[in-house]
Amino acid sequence: MDNTPTKLTLDINGMHCDSCIQRIESALGKITGLPSIQVTLGQVVVTLDDSQTTKREIIESITQGGQFTVTAFSTERDTK
């Protein structure tokens, strides 16, 4: 089993204020397997443990409710 963490960067549409950042941080904080979460206006960067969560779960957590949309994402394996 490969336990190499994955860095997931998502571009988010619909974020306009600190409240938006807090809403996304709160939603992502409920997901097991995200040791690192960074949210700024328009972008989310998380490190995820693929054995505990999926990209789909993360995206659905952000877009649930219809206020935010993911316009692009990229993944990168941590090779350290």
Say which DSSP state 51 is in: T
pTM of the model: 0.88
In sequence order, the 6+-apart residues with CB closer than 8 A to the CB of 3 are 49, 51
Q: Is the pLDDT of residue 1 over 70?
A: no
pLDDT level of residue 65 (50, 70, 90 thresholds): confident
What is the secondary structure of 41-71 as a DSSP string? TTEEEEEE-TTT--HHHHHHHHHTTSS-EEE
Q: Which two tokens stand for residue 1?
A: 């089993």
pLDDT digits (tens, 9 = 90+) for 32-58: 999 999 999 999 999 999 899 999 999
pLDDT at residue 3, rounded to an integer: 72
Instruction: Say whether domain 12-66 belongs to CATH 3.30.70.100.
Output: yes
Domain boundaries, the chain: 12-66
In sequence order, the 6+-apart residues with CB closer than 8 A to the CB of 36 are 45, 46, 47
